[in-house]
Amino acid sequence: MYAPQDVGLVARPSEGGEVQSSAAEQMQDAARLVTNLQTESDGVDLVTLLRETPREAYSFQQLGWPSEIAATRTSELPAVVLERYSTRQSVCFCGVLPEINRAWATVDNALFLWRLDRPDDVPVEYSGEEQAIVAVGLAKPRPGVFLRTIDYVLVVATTVEVVLVGCAFGDGREGSTFDDELTLHALNYSCTTDDVVAKDIASTDGGRIFFAGDDEALYEIEYSSSDTWRQRRCRKVCHHSALPRMLPSILRLRAPDPLRQVLVDEHRCALYTRSESGVVSVFDLGASCVDPPKKVAEVRDVAA
């Protein structure tokens, strides 16, 4: 690039005896400054650098810090689960229910639950559904709806409906703990999913049940002690949907982005969802986690 040559001062004495720089010298100084800036930048702007920086360059784990997650022990799946898995026909999932110290696994339409602290524990099997089980959750029972012997409500989602199953420990008397024998009881509470596949289930301490749908919508399972002329005793309520379900796919401006996770933050009375593309949404549940979810924030392009 052409570099301006130094020129001599063109000055004249001012009335006060001071020497003033000429307009030509000021232009030469400005040209030198612009030339130096262009050389230092090397033709790359900040926006380009930020766009081309790989995601791995930003890490929440600082060097020298201990690992955020560490494996403490590893346990094999029970033999009956592995045997059923070897003959599976469709899908299988697994997870943990720390509230009752149980692990769970599904193979097709069968659900198994066993204790985490007993490697030789015999799993409890639930096979009351005809369709494949795709998600499992746990919730506290709403007061006055079920018998007092029901300690927790197991939420079982299949490809066509959501079913509530009662969990009881011991003989149902006071003093029973989660270390006692677990028994499952049919509650005859269920509702159709209307072709929506539940991807994840979460609940509040008050017994509210939410699930994330593959149609980008957030749903809640509401239930009461009996039916009314206006609504059934167990029903599905859609609280937020990113796209109208009746809108033809040809009219949608973007690809579908199903929800993958839902989580309740009881301390902040908030609910979070995460989609497959990494969109995290925050919903406010009110001061006591009893209000309808109200979307208050959204963060896009989070690592999926």
CA geometry: angle at 25 spanning 20 and 28, to 5°? 155
Res 69: pLDDT: 72
Res 19: pLDDT: 46
CA distances from 172 to 93, 151, 212 (A): 30, 9, 33
pLDDT surpasses 90 at 113: yes
- Of the pLDDT bands very low, low, confident and very high (cuts 50, 70, 90), residue 17 is very low
Res 190: pLDDT: 95
**Comparing C-alpha atoms, which of 122, 229, 149, 236 is closest to residue 189?**
236
Res 10: pLDDT: 43
Q: How far apart are CA 203 and CA 222, in angstroms?
A: 11
Q: How far apart are CA 200 and CA 262, in angstroms?
A: 6
Which range is least confidently modeled, 79-83, 205-209, 255-259? 255-259
Query: What is the mean predicted confidence (pLDDT) over 201-230?
Result: 92
Q: What is the reported pTM?
A: 0.73
Of residues 177 and 47, the one with the higher pLDDT is 177
Of residues 188 and 64, the one with the higher pLDDT is 188
pLDDT in tens, 244-267: 555 555 555 667 788 999 999 999
Res 178: pLDDT: 84
pLDDT surpasses 60 at 77: yes
- For 25, phi then psi, to 5°, come to -70, -35
Query: What is the mean predicted confidence (pLDDT) over 172-177?
Result: 70
Res 267: pLDDT: 92
Which tokens is 276 given? 């497959």
Res 2: pLDDT: 45
- Of the pLDDT bands very low, low, confident and very high (cuts 50, 70, 90), residue 138 is very high
Considering the chain, what is the average pLDDT of its residues? 82
| End-to-end CA, the chain | 46
Which tokens is 15 given? 């009335």
Task: Count other C-beta atoms under 10 Å from residue 255's C-beta.
Answer: 8
- Which residues, including other chains, have CB under 8 Å from residue 80's CB and lie 6 or more apart? 112, 122, 123, 125
Query: What is the mean predicted confidence (pLDDT) over 202-225?
Result: 94
- Of the pLDDT bands very low, low, confident and very high (cuts 50, 70, 90), residue 179 is confident
Which range is least confidently modeled, 28-42, 222-236, 278-292? 28-42
Residue 216 exposure: Cα atoms within 13 Å on the Cβ side: 12
Which range is least confidently modeled, 16-25, 205-214, 219-228? 16-25
Is residue 212 within 8 A of residue 260, CB to CB? The reply is yes
pLDDT in tens, 40-71: 555 555 555 555 555 555 555 666 666 767 77
